[in-house]
Amino acid sequence: MAYRVNTYTPTPTVIFNSRATLRLLSYNADILALSLAGVAGQKLVKAGTIYCTDGKQLKRAKLLTDGASGDLGIYVNNPWAFAIGDVLKVVAPIGSNPAAELAAITGATGAAVGTIASIETSIETQTSRIILATAVVGNIITVDFLGIIGSYTVKTTVVADELIGLAKAVQAAISRSESISYVSVTPYPTYIEIKSGSDKTMLEFTASIAQGAGASVAVLTTSTIQGLGKLILAAPLAAAIPAGTKVGTLDQIPQAIWDNEWDFGNYPHSVPLEHAITPCYGGQFYLNALPYMDAQVAKMLPQAAFIPAYA
């Protein structure tokens, strides 16, 4: 007998206060399911993704884990937006302020990433690694799963021992949250492995290392062994791109923000009218609820306020 689980998950709240919400009144503001990449059986419009004037999602996303030079693919946090043939660039270098970012987008000055040759659609679980090269006593390692933070201070110079401690700290943080409780964290001699326990769930996390009381800062990298919607490039990456870098096409014009998450997995063509979804061009939005954000979005949505402000 099959044990089937259907879930109702409340949509992550993107809107800070719905009183001020202004919705796009165009009845053409419908997304074509055809334009969405089918990844892991889903055609997902994430809550907080940006709707553009060309009727598609903004084809920009953040790199999930480090892309090493020579990698033939990258993992991003919103593969559903992309299509074969999209030419990807770095939107702006990490740490750019909004003004520099806007200039980089409009001037398309970012480094080339590559052209999408294909998109991996069938893999439904994710396995990622956090790799620690050396252990420096006093360094502080922080792993952040969208706000669920595990932090660990390095105590010895033995990498394997420290990874056990780090894995424990991360697992302890995860176990305090229902949101990501189905994630396993396993220490290995040179890395810790993070696996999603439930299918079709993307694990978004950042890993960082700070000097703390240490004499120097050790090198911490991340990689994804397998994940949802790998964007396979026509040519290998020419240079390494750090996790969190914003990559994408730069010729779209942002118009509005979807406040609900929708999955059009079973619709082959355009979306039936009763499921038309209307994005908001104004209102108050939680900045950190948006899967992607850049200075062009802030500029093109003058009636939207982001909390905290995008700076």
Partner 1 sequence: MSTITTLINSTPIPITRIFDDTQAFLIDPDKNERLKKSGAKIDKVALSVYTLIDKICPATIEEAFAVAAMKIKKNMSIASISGVDQPIAMTGTGAIEEALTNLIKIVIGVNFTEADQIKFAQMLETGRMPAQYIEAIIKNIDDLQPKVMRTAILLAYQVLRTGRMNWTDPRTQMVAQMNYNYVPRLFPDPLTGIKAWTSYATATGIIDLQEHDDAYYDENGFRAEMVVMRTQTMRDLCRQQSTRDAFIANGLASASTLGSAAVSFGGLQRLFAEMLLPMPVIMDAQVEIEPRPGVFQRLNLMNTGEYFFANENMGQRIFGKTMEGKGKAGIFVDTNPKDKRDIEDQAIAVGRMIPFFENPKLLAARVVN
Instruction: Identify whether the C-beta of residue 262 lies closer than 8 Å to the C-beta of residue 45.
Output: yes
The residue from 100, 161, 286, 305 that contacts partner 1 (CB under 8 A) is 286
Residue 15 near partner 1 by CB under 8 A = yes
Which of residues 178, 215, 269, 273 is near partner 1 by CB under 8 A?
178
- The region that residue 146 occupies, defined by phi over 0 for left and psi between -120 and 50 for alpha, beta otherwise, is left
Q: Which of 3, 6, 107, 122 binds partner 1 (CB under 8 A)?
A: 6
Question: What is the number of residues in the chain?
Answer: 311
Which residues are CB-contacts of 285 (< 8 A; sequence separation ≥ 6)? 14, 15, 16, 48, 257, 259, 304, 305, 306, 307
Tell me the number of residues near partner 1 by CB under 8 A: 47
Least separation, in Å, of the C-beta of 33 and partner 1?
11
Q: Shortest approach of partner 1 to residue 176 CB, angstroms? A: 5
- What is the token pair recorded at 183? 């994630």
Is residue 156 within 8 A of residue 138, CB to CB? The reply is no
CA distance 117 to 231: 8
Nearer to partner 1, 12 or 212 (CB): 12
Instruction: Find the Cα–Cα–Cα–Cα dihedral 108, 234, 74, 219, rounded to 10°.
Output: -90
| Residue 134 touching partner 1 (CB under 8 A) | no
Closer of 78 and 249 to partner 1 (Cβ): 78
Q: Are strands 87-92 and 191-196 parallel, antiparallel or unpaired?
A: unpaired
The yes or no reply on residue 122 touching partner 1 (CB under 8 A) is: no
The region of 2-10, 85-93, 119-127, 133-141 touching partner 1 under the rule CB under 8 A is 2-10
Torsion-angle region of residue 180: left (phi > 0), alpha (psi -120 to 50) or beta?
A: alpha
Residue (12 or 282) nearer to partner 1, CB: 12
Residues 141-170 that bind partner 1 (CB under 8 A): 145-149
Binders of partner 1 in range 221-260 (CB under 8 A): 259-260
What minimum distance in Å lies between the beta carbon of 79 and partner 1? Answer: 15
Q: Which of 217, 277, 300, 305 binds partner 1 (CB under 8 A)?
A: 277
Cis omega (within 30 of 0) for bond into 10: no
- Cβ 162 to partner 1, closest distance in Å? 20
Nearest by Cα to 191 from 216, 221, 215, 171: 221
Kindly tell me which of 70 and 272 has the beta carbon lying closer to partner 1. 272
Spatial neighbors of 302 by CB under 8 A, at least 6 apart, are none
180 binds partner 1 (CB under 8 A): yes
Distance of CA 111 to the CA centre of its chain: 20
Assess contact for 176 and 192: CB atoms under 8 A.
no
The site string for partner 1 over 16-35 (x = CB under 8 A, - otherwise) reads: xxxx----------------
Question: Considering the complex, what minimum distance in angstroms separates the CB of residue 146 from partner 1?
Answer: 5
For partner 1, the binding residue among 264, 281, 292, 310 (CB under 8 A) is 264
Max CA-CA distance within the chain?
61
Structure tokens at 146: 């969208």
Q: Does 14 bind partner 1 (CB under 8 A)?
A: yes
Q: Rule CB under 8 A: which residues touch partner 1?
A: 4, 6-19, 42, 44, 47, 145-149, 173, 176-180, 200-201, 259-267, 275, 277, 286, 288-289, 307-308
